[in-house]
Amino acid sequence: MASYQPYTEYSSVTGGGFDQGDSRPSSGDSAAGSRVSTLTPVTIKQILNSSQTIQDGPFVFQQQELHHVVFVGVVRNIADHTSNIFVTLEDGTGQIEVRKWSDETSDIASSQGGEATAPGSSQVAQQFRIGSYVKVYGALKEFGGKKNIQYAVIKNIESYNDILAHHLDAIKWHSIATGKIPDPSANGEATATGNSASTPGKSLFVSDTSADNPQRVLAFCKEQCEGKDGSTFAVPLQLICQTLNLDENTARQCCTQLTEQGFVYPTLDDDHFFAL
């Protein structure tokens, strides 16, 4: 078995169990029925801590029903049984074992013929490697008191942007379930895995309307500079970029515009600003 690779080596995302005690008001039967076919982005902790409130009913975690789920994780171990493998996954919030069946005729033939193969030699096992990231899709079930992903589809992740995007999606839909932000599906917008239109009120994501950028930069600088001395404190341009999710050119243009209008001024150098 390959050596253990720390989760933080690949990503700075930690936590993600979402233990807030807020609950979302219960929705109507029609809304509940429409969620049966919904693919919900989750963390492993949400899967492990979910429970069935009624026998044979859906799994629920903090008022969020989990039917079909999707999550990402780093591969910690692969147990090869030729016709199928057990992949142990971890995402910083918990660990779960997922079974993946082989579609290769050679694997199936070896299994039925009782042929012994070396660990990790089956075609299905060679698709994955320990330390890599994967995304898992499937239906959440329970067998023998243990959570299980039925009909699991496991895809290798090529870009780490997919990992961050998934965690943002998980945060977004948990926030919707707990009433933190409005539910876009209530207005006929896209589901958890599709593109959604802008939602009135609070939103997890920053608006991409460029006309609002100077006002956002000014508001952020004023907040940072409140009660500070302009001779000893300034807001770095990079902090503005990172906090407001702006590229450097856009942030610099906003600061230049605000400087010309007399709202901010550069202090230590051209990359540090103080709000009046």
Euclidean distance between CA atoms 47 and 152, whole angstroms: 14
pLDDT of residue 177: 85
Its pTM surpasses 0.85: no
Count of other CB atoms within 10 angstroms of residue 172: 19
Euclidean distance between CA atoms 24 and 176, whole angstroms: 8
Euclidean distance between CA atoms 221 and 226, whole angstroms: 8
Considering the domain 7-187 in this protein, what is its CATH number? 2.40.50.140
pLDDT of residue 186: 58
pLDDT of residue 107: 60
pLDDT of residue 62: 84
pLDDT digits (tens, 9 = 90+) for 163-201: 998 999 899 888 888 888 887 655 544 444 444 433 444
* In the chain, ranges of CATH 1.10.10.10 domains: 210-275
| The domain defined by 210-275 carries CATH number 1.10.10.10 | yes
* In the chain, ranges of CATH 2.40.50.140 domains: 7-187
- Residues of the chain with pLDDT below 70 are 1-37, 105-120, 184-211
| Adjacent-strand bridge partners of 136 | 71, 154
Euclidean distance between CA atoms 124 and 111, whole angstroms: 12
Contact in structure between 43 and 11 (CB atoms under 8 Å): no
Contact in structure between 73 and 87 (CB atoms under 8 Å): no
pLDDT digits (tens, 9 = 90+) for 161-173: 889 989 998 998 8
